[in-house]
Structure 1
Amino acid sequence: MSPTLFPTALARLAQDATLPVEQVERLRAGTATVEEWCNAGEKLLGIDPRLARALLERAAQLQPNIPNVHYLLGNAFRLCAEPAMAEIALRRAIALQPAHADASLSLAFLLREQGRMQALADVMLDLWRNEPRSLDSDRRTLAFLCECGRFSEARQILPAMLEAHPHEAELLRRAGEIALVLGHFDAARDHLNASLDRDPHQASAWLRLAHTHRFASEQEPDLIRLRQAATRVDLGADAQSAVGFALGKALDDLDQIEEASRVLGEANARWRASHPWNAAPFLAQVDQPPQPSRAESAEPAHSASALFIVGLPRAGTTLLETLLCRDPALRSRGELNWIDALARKLGPQPSTAMLQSAGEFYLAQLRQDDAPASIYIDKNPLNFRYLGLVAAMLPRARVIHCRRDIRATALSLWSQHFAHESMAWSYSFEDIARFAHGYQQLMAHWLATAPLPIHELDYESLAREPESVIAGVRNFLDLGADESPSTSKSAAAIATASVWQARQQVHTRSIERWRRYEPFLPQLADMQAVVSPSPAGVPKRA
């Protein structure tokens, strides 16, 4: 407790004239109402969290059974960078009022900052069971769980939500997306179709529908539906683009390459027209890649380590992740966005203390609170932009660089709809070439300068000889022979564009796929000339 700050808190409230004098005096005497304590605490939270903490600690002494007092005190502790005390206060508020949504959400955000994702899911599920149910609360709970990657927990509560709101298009779409991520393709297909029956303007539902299966016949109902949607003019630009990408995928499955080329070309042009790529920030990063000074390691020598799988998207990163995670010693966290966020927050010249703090935060996001592993994987391919920062934050990290024929990569990128600002360059071959050229420049720079072990891996070799390539990767990671079964065990959740392919047997169909498109997309043949070959190299250790 901070008794010496309590008079200062009262003085500040009186000084700023934020409260009537008589109310300040009731606070001083301890005779204020609960509403007055909470009102004063909220005002101080926006002025000085330390003073708010002192006042709310006094309130909690005098009013120990009031949930809002403990909720506000928990927020004060959070703002004062005292997470352990914040958790105690927030859990006290929830114990007193299990349906206290604000306290539960505040605690959930606190737990997410600490990487405690299982605990976060437990808090959200308890809130859902205890608070009055509504469509808004169901949407909020489902969205938060999905945002945090807790798809299994989201799936547990979906049946009750759908029973309560059977005709709600957004919930049906969410149900389809969750089923797809978890590999329940038939259920995903049913939910997505039901969602589109109720609201055909949902761009993501069209995209997900195309990835629930491989199209095998012109008579398939989903293909007929996509063809009909493609003729509509009332869906809006984003949904119309999504229909085009979905139809293009179906046509590719059916080997109708000429029509697929035309349909995908129109979809790419439509999306690019309304979502152009601003190349300047990336090109500036290529010209002057930041290389922060190396921090003292935040990683104990005996701790688990981070493995980054990088490269151009669609270069085999998901396939590699899936094959590696047959071994329980490796745990993937999917495509985390934390490195990009930390780079933006830290700026070009972070201090050693900032790097250490960022490294500890990031490791918490990797380790989380499930069963421990030896190596944790972040397979966000765009982390190649920040390998200097990775080396500075995490001196024990390792990197696998996935490479692929640029023509195959470009076609795969151009055929997908990512709908994310960081992928705005993927909707024209000209932009893909510019980005790919910058990527190769950056990777050449990191290979020459980054004090990190970097292992280079070709997608084509991985697809043709997966066992021998994985054996080489395991050697790079200082792991023994793979004792797991040779049949790939799919990850529990896959939320990338490879959601369907990654759960199929390894195949080589995609290696020369670009040649089928070359007669209709002459830009593909030019990609080799525009983009220099990947820098040659062997596995490199710092």
Structure 2
Amino acid sequence: MTDNSSSYTSLVSAVKTHLKAGDFQIAATLAEQALQQYPADQQFLYLGAVCARYDNDTPRAEEFLASLLQNYPDYGRAWQEKGHLYRETNPSQADSCYQKAVQYNPALIASWQQIEKLASSAENVATAKQNINYLQRIPKVLVTVLSLIHENQLSKAERFCRDFLKKQPTHTEGMRLLALIAERNHVLDDAEYLLESLLLKEPDNNWARFDFINVLHRRQKFQQAHEVAKQLVSALPKDFSALFTFANQKASLGDFTGALKIYQQLRKQSPDNPTVPLLEGHAFKTIGDTKQAIQSYLRAASLLPTLGDAYWSLANLKTFRFNDDLIKQMQQAVAASLQIEDKIHLHFALGKAYEDKQLFDRAFYHYEQGNGLKKKSRDFTIDFILEDMQSQKTFFTKRFICKHANSGHPARDPIFIVGLPRAGSTLIEQILASHSDIDGTLELPNIIAYVQELNGRKKKGQPGKYPGRIADLSAQELSQYGQRYIEETRVYREQGKFFLDKMPNNFRHIGFIKTILPNAKIIDARRSARSCCFSAWKQLFAEGQEFSYDFHDLIAYYKAYEDLMGHWQQCYPDSIITVQYEDMVANTEQQTERLLNFLKLPMEPSCLEFYKNQRAVRTASSEQVRQPIYKNSLEPWRPFEANLKRLLRSFPD
């Protein structure tokens, strides 16, 4: 909670005054009284814990800290304070708390100093020394900036950082921290520019390299991120973080063999690290080695029993069934875990576990809890997306389309599969990728990246310059965008005459796609509203799809999608085909022939044996498309009907 009222400020001042005067008991009591007026306030809980510890009242301090960590589990100073509380009586527990503190706020030098004294491993001692040296070397104001960043006080951090850079405009660490603030604010183009400029000045700045890779990855510039990661490993050939980052970038480019080789090396180097087998499992899943994926996920869960992502990854295989022992383990983990992300993963995993056991009320409860926590943890408003979709209809008129009929690159090889998540797009992709003339790729990021470029500098949620900016582009510039797309996506292709781009959210950008690639074909993967919305709601996505965690948002998004696709059908009637999932399941051969006729390709038997295709599949349906089509997924909402009145009312039969 944040409150800038005079009453709140006066209470904070009173607590701090008594704390400085050594009146610890009075200060703690004032903090307790303030909490009656400002329940669960972070500052009063923290000050109360500090005062109680100084007063040697451990039970009272523990009470403050328990409430503080329950409400703010990622508050580094709370973990540091807990470490201080147990430093003398339980050094091992204190060390664990200090490790948590710097995990959430690496600017806490007091925690690093205690880790240096208490840590049992030489690796942790060396890491502590490195961070102490860094924090003592940089200007104190930048230590404050770093701390504010990790406490999510981004406006204050940016103000301090910019004031510092006005006096020292070429200070590289100041530039790096400003880039970090931009990245946290989702102004990724600024972050990229700052880090690129910094690395031109200091090409061997490895911390900046790590940050640059992260920003490039978030901007979905995977090839460039891979190149920087390669440079990083050359500079730090034995460094765990550098190797781990390099492996992740290999996986992003589809080099799962290379990624797995590094993960296996890292598992030997750091056998107690649960993140390595977790990502190793993701790689095995993508290439279709389900047995190895399960072993990796179970290994990750055994190393860290509260690691929610490990259990959700098992559930997300769709074919794995949890036994009673694992369900009990998940129930204990969700009760014990303080991390919101772990709780989210665990609730979704428990939902799937109970659904498989046909305990639908329990399953719904956990899906509802997981969705609620996910929605609460994200700063998302559906209105911005709905306005963006409306702007597409307003901008891409028949007049605009006629005016730009001769623009763009003439390539005929791209086939875009678009639609909503969980609508059957992976099935269509797998069928078509089994044709000898069609290369399957993945959910290619390029169109979204171009849209971000055209939008210009903006924070998340703010209106951008797209699509209006397209009107300012010349025919040559539009053609260059199309050519750039063809060239940049070549790395994902093989020798087929055509290739698939299965980024579902591209349905929002069909006007742009058809302007830069006028001969592109569009496949709209569609599923009945009830099934599509419910399937998306009970799916935890790795990133994006923020609309899917709330039925109000889902319903609005689905209706806007239908409306926008209707507009595109009118604009480009010969370039778009709609494939209904239910029809594909009921009449696979007929629908496959229809698709291939649309693409002007002959039927091949391999398309009907798509489940034998060994290509890597990255989506939530990766295991399902490796089996023959099954019909028990047509109405997944049916067993939950009693809990879905709002959804069913919105989409009547």
Superposed, 1:470-509 pairs within 5 Å as: 470-484=592-606, 486-488=608-610, 489-490=612-613, 492-509=615-632
Q: Which residue of the partner structure matches residue 375 of structure 1?
A: 498
Q: Which residue of the partner structure matches residue 170 of structure 1?
A: 275
Q: 1:251 aligns with which of 354, 360, 367?
A: 354
- In the superposition, the TM-score normalised over structure 2's length comes to 0.60
* 1:297-350 residue CA offsets vs partner (Å, 9 max, x unmatched): 5545xx551111111111100011111111131112211222122123123232
Q: Which residue of the partner structure matches residue 455 of structure 1?
A: 577
* 1:469-501 residue CA offsets vs partner (Å, 9 max, x unmatched): 111100100001214374223352222121222
Flag the 1:514–1:165 CA change in 2: closer, same or farther, 3 A: same
Q: Which residue of the partner structure matches residue 184 of structure 1?
A: 289
Q: Which residue of the partner structure matches residue 269 of structure 1?
A: 372
Q: Which residue of the partner structure matches residue 142 of structure 1?
A: 247
Q: Which residue of the partner structure matches residue 445 of structure 1?
A: 567
Q: Is structure 2 residue 489 aligned with structure 1 residue 385?
A: no
Superposed, 1:38-49 pairs within 5 Å as: none
Is the Cα–Cα contact under 8 Å of residues 455 and 476 in structure 1 kept in the other structure? yes
Flag the 1:228–1:115 CA change in 2: closer, same or farther, 3 A: closer
Q: Shift of residue 121 of structure 1?
A: 7.0
Q: For the residues of structure 2 that align with 1:432 and 1:105, how far apart are their CA atoms?
A: 34
* 1:75-123 residue CA offsets vs partner (Å, 9 max, x unmatched): 99x99xxxxxxxxxxxxx9xxx9xx99999999x99xx99996x99799
Flag the 1:177–1:439 CA change in 2: closer, same or farther, 3 A: same
SS at match of 2:489: helix
Q: For the residues of structure 2 that align with 1:513 and 1:180, how far apart are their CA atoms?
A: 23
Superposed, 1:13-92 pairs within 5 Å as: none
Superposed, 1:375-454 pairs within 5 Å as: 375-420=498-543, 422-450=544-572, 453-454=575-576
Q: Is structure 2 residue 438 aligned with structure 1 residue 330?
A: yes
Q: Which residue of the partner structure matches residue 326 of structure 2?
A: 222
RMSD of aligned alpha carbons: 3.6
Amino acid at match of 1:438: A
Q: Which residue of the partner structure matches residue 365 of structure 1?
A: 488
Flag the 1:213–1:392 CA change in 2: closer, same or farther, 3 A: closer
SS at match of 1:513: coil
Is the Cα–Cα contact under 8 Å of residues 331 and 373 in structure 1 kept in the other structure? yes
Amino acid at match of 1:285: D
Q: For the residues of structure 1 that align with 2:623 and 2:519, how far apart are their CA atoms?
A: 33
Amino acid at match of 1:226: M
Flag the 1:174–1:304 CA change in 2: closer, same or farther, 3 A: same
Q: Shift of residue 508 of structure 1?
A: 0.8
Q: Which runs of 5+ in 1 are unaligned?
A: 1-42, 44-74, 80-92, 534-542
Flag the 1:523–1:299 CA change in 2: closer, same or farther, 3 A: same
Between 193-202 and 330-339, report the one with greater CA deviation.
193-202
* 1:222-278 residue CA offsets vs partner (Å, 9 max, x unmatched): 33332332332x331121011111111122222222211111111111211222531
SS at match of 2:519: coil
Higher relative contact order (CA 8 A, sep 6+): 1
Q: Is structure 2 residue 589 aligned with structure 1 residue 467?
A: yes
Flag the 1:373–1:126 CA change in 2: closer, same or farther, 3 A: farther
Q: Which residue of the partner structure matches residue 309 of structure 1?
A: 417
Q: For the residues of structure 1 that align with 2:225 and 2:237, how far apart are their CA atoms?
A: 20
Q: For the residues of structure 1 that align with 2:326 and 2:623, how far apart are their CA atoms?
A: 16
* 1:408-449 residue CA offsets vs partner (Å, 9 max, x unmatched): 1111011011152x4111112111001111111111111112
SS at match of 2:525: strand
Q: For the residues of structure 2 that align with 1:146 and 1:327, how far apart are their CA atoms?
A: 25
Q: For the residues of structure 2 that align with 1:306 and 1:224, how far apart are their CA atoms?
A: 48
Between 401-410 and 482-491, report the one with greater CA deviation.
482-491
Q: Shift of residue 161 of structure 1?
A: 2.3
Q: Shift of residue 200 of structure 1?
A: 4.4
Flag the 1:104–1:416 CA change in 2: closer, same or farther, 3 A: closer
Is the Cα–Cα contact under 8 Å of residues 596 and 603 in structure 2 kept in the other structure? yes
Structure (1/2) with the larger helix percentage: 2
Amino acid at match of 2:293: A
Amino acid at match of 2:469: Q
Is the Cα–Cα contact under 8 Å of residues 435 and 607 in structure 2 kept in the other structure? no
Is the Cα–Cα contact under 8 Å of residues 283 and 438 in structure 1 kept in the other structure? yes
Is the Cα–Cα contact under 8 Å of residues 325 and 491 in structure 1 kept in the other structure? no
Flag the 1:485–1:278 CA change in 2: closer, same or farther, 3 A: closer
Is the Cα–Cα contact under 8 Å of residues 408 and 511 in structure 1 kept in the other structure? yes
Q: Shift of residue 356 of structure 1?
A: 1.9
Q: Is structure 2 residue 285 aligned with structure 1 residue 285?
A: no
Flag the 1:415–1:213 CA change in 2: closer, same or farther, 3 A: closer
Q: For the residues of structure 1 that align with 2:525 and 2:212, how far apart are their CA atoms?
A: 39
Q: For the residues of structure 2 that align with 1:146 and 1:271, how far apart are their CA atoms?
A: 26
Q: For the residues of structure 2 that align with 1:114 and 1:245, how far apart are their CA atoms?
A: 27
Flag the 1:115–1:138 CA change in 2: closer, same or farther, 3 A: closer
Is the Cα–Cα contact under 8 Å of residues 374 and 549 in structure 2 kept in the other structure? yes
Flag the 1:200–1:276 CA change in 2: closer, same or farther, 3 A: farther
Q: For the residues of structure 2 that align with 1:368 and 1:476, how far apart are their CA atoms?
A: 26
Is the Cα–Cα contact under 8 Å of residues 537 and 550 in structure 2 kept in the other structure? yes
Flag the 1:141–1:268 CA change in 2: closer, same or farther, 3 A: same
Flag the 1:485–1:423 CA change in 2: closer, same or farther, 3 A: closer
Is the Cα–Cα contact under 8 Å of residues 389 and 564 in structure 2 kept in the other structure? yes
Is the Cα–Cα contact under 8 Å of residues 115 and 369 in structure 1 kept in the other structure? no
Flag the 1:229–1:114 CA change in 2: closer, same or farther, 3 A: closer
Amino acid at match of 1:179: F
SS at match of 1:288: helix
Q: Which runs of 5+ in 2 are unaligned?
A: 1-169, 171-195, 455-465
Q: For the residues of structure 1 that align with 2:554 and 2:408, how far apart are their CA atoms?
A: 37
Q: For the residues of structure 2 that align with 1:299 and 1:372, how far apart are their CA atoms?
A: 20
Q: Is structure 2 residue 324 aligned with structure 1 residue 231?
A: no
- In the superposition, the TM-score normalised over structure 1's length comes to 0.71
Is the Cα–Cα contact under 8 Å of residues 334 and 346 in structure 2 kept in the other structure? yes
Amino acid at match of 1:239: D
Q: For the residues of structure 1 that align with 2:529 and 2:493, how far apart are their CA atoms?
A: 38
Q: Which residue of the partner structure matches residue 181 of structure 2?
A: none
Amino acid at match of 1:310: V
Flag the 1:485–1:458 CA change in 2: closer, same or farther, 3 A: closer
Q: Which residue of the partner structure matches residue 161 of structure 1?
A: 266
Identity between Structure 1 and Structure 2 (%): 26
